[in-house]
Structure 1
Amino acid sequence: MSVLDGSGVLDGLDEFCEQALTAHGCPSASMAVAQGEELVFARAYGLADVAANRAATPETVYGLASITKSFTAIAVCLAADRGLLDLDAPLPGRHPWATVPTPRQLMQHRGGFPAYYDFHYSEDPSPIDPAAYCRQVREPGSDFEYSNLGYRELGRLLEQATGQPLRTFLREQIAAPLGLSSFDLADLPPADASVAQRYTPDGRSYPGCRSSVSSAGAGWATAGDIALFARRCARLLRPATAAAVLDAPPITDRLGYGLGRIVQRANGSVISSHGGGMGGVATMMIDLPDRELSLAILTNSTDKSARNAVVRHLMDALAPEFDPGHLQPVTDPAAALTLTPGSWTGHIETADGEIPLDLSLLTDGHVRVRLADLPPVTVPAVASRSWSIQLAADLQLPTRDARLNSPSFGLELRTDGTGLTGRAIAYKNGDREGLLGPYLVHPCRLRPNA
């Protein structure tokens, strides 16, 4: 007997999902539920390809975005169980970092690296060198910071340790033993698969998207195979290693991040998950190991609203204790500014050289920013547990990489006793116009003006 029978979760589900897609402008959604190690439910709604009027089906393959990290993490754990690497030894080889992180730290997003992505839409390799941004911004093993760069290093480690391309290892050692026939790892979807076209929130289709961090987000699969992966993957690992996947240092007051999984422990039960989001992709994988139950919800729009609505609807019936933080963990909430007004001058370190920056904190909680020789702008600012000042502005960082498709500018700075240090960020604020661009973090240091 399926857990769905008598739960009420199927009552009105079709109507709810169709309304959610319409309300949030999402072309399609595919969902699946696995119980034990078998698929017990699979259904799809809407159009996988709007122009072709092609309906989504349970066999439709979707981009996974960051659910891919869970596959990479299981592969790292499997390689460790086979003696090919040590989860708690520093990465082998020569590295430019002051302290070399371990695979476990990287899987937990505690390797010391900042956020990063470099989406681009030509057939050529990325014009951005990720190594230029793979700088440690904190000591490995300290605070959590979600970082594709850490998973890039894990992908490189796996290829070195196994002697195989990451795509081959994932398909042969993870997907094949688990019976996941649809899974692939590639910038572009499998040529022989029925694939969901990806869309912006206002309905424009995405061309092929490439990135230099494929081990963090280049997976493809059906919802059914993601639900089965969530249920079956532990059987690939030694019991102690499978338990370590759910050993999750806290990232909020209710959630932790383990080895490629967000983990919640509530009322004696465990809920683990991983979501994904990028241009034209919003996905979610959830596993409830104590109930031998897993779910996958895959959609083909950048806007996560439809995905979130469907997830909440299902979890309200199946696991009411589900923390909505799984959908978007807030690890460093905003707070009021407490820094004394003043002015600072310094620079941003980039691969193109130092970029001048002047900052003035005003008495009304706004900050006047002058970047290079651009006209100054005044914008509101906040603080947080980690930062004394956080702000965003419509300013173009004048570097070759940022000019490609990162027209917005952010600052995250903290006092260090002699001034302000932190980071300047070049990014694109969503894809309501154009396509999602790179997210590039640069060190920044400012000193107080006399």
Structure 2
Amino acid sequence: MFLLQPVLAADEMAARVDKIAQARVSSGAIPGLVLARISGQEQTVQGYGLVSNGKAAAHQPDASTVFEIGSVSKTFTALLLADMQVRGQLKLDDTVASLLPGYEIPQYQGRAISLLDLATQTSGLPRLPANLMPRQVDNPYADYTENNLRDFLRSYQLTRAPGSKYEYSNLGFGLLGHALSVRAGKSYSELLQERITTPLGMPDTGISLTAAMQARLATGHDGHGKPVANWDFTTLAGAGAVRSNAQDMLRYVRAHMQGATLNTPAGLQLVQQPQRPTGMPGLQIGLAWHVQAVRGQTLVWHNGMTGGYASFVGFTADGQRGVVVLANASVNVDDIGMAALLPAAPETEVSQAGQTSEARLSAQAMAEYVGHYQLAPGVSLNISAGPEGLLAQVTGQSQAPVFQRKKDEFFYKVVEASLHFERDAQGKIQSLSLHQDGRVMPAPRMSTTVPESVQRVAIQLPAEQLQAYTGSYTLAPGFKLQVTAEAGQLYVQATAQGRNPVFAQARDEFFYKGLDAQLSFQRQPDGKITGLVLHQNGRDLRGPRDAD
């Protein structure tokens, strides 16, 4: 149980959030971002960095700068669902099949998928359809048609009952948006404009870019600062197609915080109500929105990311604080958003130099903490024993040493964060919580061993050898790995996912850091690379190299 600390003065909180945002842009991780905050009746908008990397004429983004908001679009789809429910046009427990009579929607032992299942990420449908085979890897949803969707649903078999387990699905929300569009007899874009953006006065929010929006569109960048293509959606628009700016999104957030009025969409309160558990302590899901209890405060939030943008939108359930973070790079900005919603945890305010003990642990003591901890779906924190003490590694990040403050409490020196381990009645470590930027993230212990990928040692291969691996590899229908080399580093990008570095441990053998996955490239006797094998979750997925 956590005690809610006294609320910091508004200017002190603002200074802390500003410092985090400034550091993210100054480090080069994100070319530019806009941070919009609501505190009581006041609201502020601050831009950082540039709207485009490396352009001499680029300027600082502001309240009118347009970004792709990615999966924050799902909250718009959920609001359309809630609006139609309140109007009596459908019910949350209606089946998807009832809205799409021409489709063959999969069932599990007679249990049909409901609209509520889709809206709470519990439908049992996979994250992406297997027949997503984009002509352009950097614009993966653009050519996915309604016929593609029909074909996939007709052939897919659910592995569990709908409603039984939380599992994030872009496909599920894309299907929900499409079903609502069919029921309304209008395109998703038209429905969005009629029910949400026009009533709320959001002229710069929509699917298609108007001329005015195009003129103010920030350039999207990947995680390494390289400009990338914008994403376009057709059939699956409800999953992530919306573009907007901070000015419009402030109106959107404030409407959720203050409730419905005569001119706002019905269902604003319904979307925020917790509907189902996620399986993670303190975290539930409403209609799209995540509802999280943190140190006595309830937060309502959603994040998003496309190939070149990232977003975070959230507010406190008491209606006192709200935040919008829009960035022009596919780099997570959740920490900035959370810092704007919560005062700093007391642990992060303690000086990490000179005021905390750094007693070296014995090998036996370190072994108590070693293991694999689950922070969120697809995100883990691995604790291993190093020569000088414990090492912590979050998925996709480098290892960092942590130092003991007292029994079961450790702190970082490289960032303002700490780890708190919890024991069961027998004294065995069963979970930990990561405290950072006012956010407490619980993580149950999944195993007492660390994935091999965390323990691997990288070697350097010559740039010309790395070039030999570049190309596209098809592992399954609609699922490819695009391998590129840049500045002596090999990168891999899976279909509809971000680009990640991989590291050589031997010729033709590579591994991800912070992710239990490896790649083995297949080489012919003449030296030509003809395919690869992805080793992950105990499976070996083979992919031939596509013809140039």
Q: Is the shorter-chain TM-score for this pair beyond 0.5, marking a shared fold? A: yes
What residue identity is the alignment partner of 2:269? A
**Aligned equivalents of 2:379 and 2:329: distance in 1?**
26
1:289-300 correspondence to structure 2 within 5 Å: 289-300=317-328
What residue identity is the alignment partner of 1:165? S
Question: Is the 2:141–2:231 contact (alpha carbons within 8 Å) kept by the matching residues of 1?
Answer: no
Question: Is the 1:69–1:217 contact (alpha carbons within 8 Å) kept by the matching residues of 2?
Answer: yes
Cα drift, residue 85 of structure 1: 1.3
What residue identity is the alignment partner of 2:328? N
1:31-430 correspondence to structure 2 within 5 Å: 31-35=35-39, 40-50=43-53, 51=55, 52-91=57-96, 92=98, 93=101, 94-98=103-107, 99-116=111-128, 120=136, 121=138, 125-126=142-143, 129-134=148-153, 135=156, 136-186=158-208, 189-193=209-213, 194-211=216-233, 212-233=235-256, 234-235=259-260, 236=264, 242-243=269-270, 245-251=272-278, 252-266=280-294, 269-304=297-332, 307-317=333-343, 330-331=376-377, 396-399=473-476, 401-403=478-480, 427=495, 430=498
Give me the identity figure in percent.
Answer: 21
**Aligned equivalents of 1:171 and 1:181: distance in 2?**
9
Change (3 A) 1:309 1:102: closer
Gaps of 5+ in 1: 322-327, 337-382, 409-424, 434-443
What residue identity is the alignment partner of 1:177? P
Cα drift, residue 248 of structure 1: 3.5
**Aligned equivalents of 1:163 and 1:260: distance in 2?**
23
Question: Is the 1:32–1:39 contact (alpha carbons within 8 Å) kept by the matching residues of 2?
Answer: no
Question: Is the 1:178–1:229 contact (alpha carbons within 8 Å) kept by the matching residues of 2?
Answer: yes
CA deviation profile, 1:238-269 (whole Å, cap 9, x unmatched): 67x72453224221011111101010135654
What residue identity is the alignment partner of 2:125? F
Where 1:83 maps in the other structure, the secondary structure is: coil
CA RMSD of aligned residues (A): 3.9
Cα drift, residue 227 of structure 1: 3.0
**Aligned equivalents of 2:149 and 2:272: distance in 1?**
27
Cα drift, residue 72 of structure 1: 0.6
Change (3 A) 1:17 1:116: same
CA deviation profile, 1:87-131 (whole Å, cap 9, x unmatched): 112121242412431111110001110111756447995268344
Question: Is the 2:122–2:162 contact (alpha carbons within 8 Å) kept by the matching residues of 1?
Answer: yes
1:21 equivalent in structure 2: 25
Cα drift, residue 426 of structure 1: 6.6
Higher Rg: 2
2:34 equivalent in structure 1: 30
Where 1:230 maps in the other structure, the secondary structure is: helix
Question: Is the 1:246–1:258 contact (alpha carbons within 8 Å) kept by the matching residues of 2?
Answer: yes
**Aligned equivalents of 1:123 and 1:114: distance in 2?**
16
Where 1:11 maps in the other structure, the secondary structure is: helix
What residue identity is the alignment partner of 1:317? P
**Aligned equivalents of 2:36 and 2:79: distance in 1?**
21
Change (3 A) 1:85 1:174: same
Change (3 A) 1:28 1:95: same
Change (3 A) 1:4 1:100: same
Gaps of 5+ in 2: 1-6, 348-373, 383-444, 454-468, 485-492, 502-537, 541-548
**Aligned equivalents of 2:230 and 2:128: distance in 1?**
19
Deviates more, 1:293-302 or 1:123-132: 123-132
**Aligned equivalents of 1:244 and 1:63: distance in 2?**
22
Cα drift, residue 23 of structure 1: 1.6
CA deviation profile, 1:117-147 (whole Å, cap 9, x unmatched): 7564479952683445443332111101100
**Aligned equivalents of 2:193 and 2:342: distance in 1?**
34
1:359 equivalent in structure 2: none
Where 2:92 maps in the other structure, the secondary structure is: coil
What residue identity is the alignment partner of 1:227? L
Cα drift, residue 39 of structure 1: 5.9
Question: Is the 1:281–1:302 contact (alpha carbons within 8 Å) kept by the matching residues of 2?
Answer: yes
**Aligned equivalents of 1:27 and 1:173: distance in 2?**
34
CA deviation profile, 1:261-282 (whole Å, cap 9, x unmatched): 0101356542100000121111
Change (3 A) 1:22 1:127: same
Cα drift, residue 70 of structure 1: 0.4
**Aligned equivalents of 2:75 and 2:141: distance in 1?**
27
- The reply to whether residue 431 of structure 1 matches residue 495 of structure 2 is no
Q: Tell which has more relative contact order, 1 or 2 (C-alpha 8 A, sep 6+).
A: 1
